[in-house]
C-alpha cells in the first residue's frame, strides 16, 4: 500500500522522487488546491470515501497511510 | 434530481471588494453592504443587476482564509458557481455519486442569513457551492 500511496503523490504533484517523509510542510506543491486533487486521487486509487474531517488532517504520509488502511 | 439545483451566483475571489466592484458598478451593477463571514474568514458583497447573474465578491480577512491560496495561484478570478438546493444533506449524497468531494460539513453562512452552505470539488469541474433553501 505504501508504494501505491507514493505513486499517487508522484502522479498528483508531478514529482520525480518522493519518500515517506513527505508532508504539507516540506512539499511546495502541496497547496490547498493540490490537497483537493490529492484526496480525489486517493479516493479513486483505493476506491474509498474520505470524509471532510479526515481531509483536514491528511497532511503527511503517515496519517494518510493510517486513514487509508482503516478503510481497506 | 439535478434539475432542482437552481443557479444562485458566481463567486469571485478578489483582493479588494472596493477595487473590483468599480468595474462592475461602471457596468450598471449595484452592490450590497459588505458582510463578514468569520467561518470562511472572508468579507462578502454581492453585485446585482437585472437579467444578469449575481456575482459574489469574496475578499480574504487574513492569510488564514481559504481564498488566499486561490488569489496566490490565479490572481483575482471567478472560482466557484453556487446552486440552491432544497435539502443540502440529500444533495451531498448526490454530489458524492457524481465524484465530488465535500470540503467540509455544511456550515451556516452569515451572508445568506445563516442558511447552510457546503463547498465541493471535482477535478474536472472545480469548486461548486451548494446553498440550502
Instruction: Walk me through the domains of chain A, giving residue ranges and CATH numbers.
Output: 2-71 (1.10.1200.10)
The vertex-B106 CA angle with B113 and B52, nearest 5°, equals 55
For B86-98, the pLDDT digits (tens) are 999 999 999 998 8
Tell me, yes or no, if B99 comes closer than 8 A to chain A by beta carbon: yes
- Domain count across chain B: 1
For A54, the closest chain B residue by CA position comes to B104
B107 conformational bin, left if phi > 0, alpha if psi -120 to 50, beta if neither: beta
Interface pTM (ipTM) of the complex?
Answer: 0.72
Cell of B100: 465530488
| CATH code where residue B88 lies | 3.10.180.10
Give B63's contacts (C-beta < 8 A, 6+ positions apart). none
Contact criterion met (CB below 8 Å) for A39 and A55: yes
Q: B121 contacts in A (CB within 8 Å)?
A: 36, 40
DSSP state, B32?
P
* Distance in Å, alpha carbon of A53 to nearest chain B alpha carbon: 7
B69–A31: do the CB atoms touch at under 8 Å? Answer: yes
A36–B70: do the CB atoms touch at under 8 Å? Answer: no
pTM for the predicted model, two decimal places: 0.85
For B36-68, the pLDDT digits (tens) are 988 889 999 999 999 999 999 999 999 988 899
Q: Which domain holds residue B12?
A: 2-132
Amino acid at each position: 500500500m505504501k508504494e501505491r500511496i507514493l505513486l499517487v503523490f508522484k502522479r498528483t504533484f508531478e514529482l520525480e522522487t518522493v519518500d515517506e517523509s513527505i508532508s504539507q510542510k516540506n512539499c511546495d506543491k502541496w497547496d490547498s488546491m493540490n490537497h483537493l486533487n490529492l484526496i480525489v486521487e486517493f479516493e479513486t486509487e483505493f476506491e474509498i470515501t474520505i470524509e471532510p474531517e479526515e481531509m483536514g488532517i491528511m497532511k503527511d504520509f503517515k496519517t494518510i497511510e493510517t486513514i487509508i488502511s482503516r478503510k481497506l | 434530481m439535478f434539475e432542482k439545483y437552481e443557479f444562485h451566483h458566481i463567486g469571485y475571489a478578489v483582493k479588494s471588494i472596493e477595487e473590483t466592484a468599480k468595474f462592475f458598478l461602471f457596468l450598471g451593477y449595484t452592490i450590497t453592504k459588505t458582510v463578514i463571514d468569520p467561518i470562511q474568514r472572508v468579507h462578502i458583497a454581492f453585485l446585482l443587476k437585472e437579467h444578469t447573474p449575481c456575482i459574489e465578491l469574496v475578499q480574504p480577512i487574513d492569510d488564514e482564509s481559504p481564498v488566499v491560496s486561490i488569489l496566490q495561484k490565479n490572481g483575482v478570478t471567478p472560482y466557484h458557481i453556487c446552486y440552491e438546493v432544497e435539502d443540502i444533506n440529500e444533495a451531498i449524497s448526490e454530489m458524492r455519486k457524481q465524484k465530488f468531494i465535500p470540503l467540509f460539513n455544511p456550515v451556516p453562512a452569515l451572508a445568506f442569513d445563516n442558511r447552510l452552505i457546503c463547498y465541493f470539488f471535482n477535478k474536472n469541474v472545480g469548486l461548486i457551492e451548494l446553498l440550502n433553501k
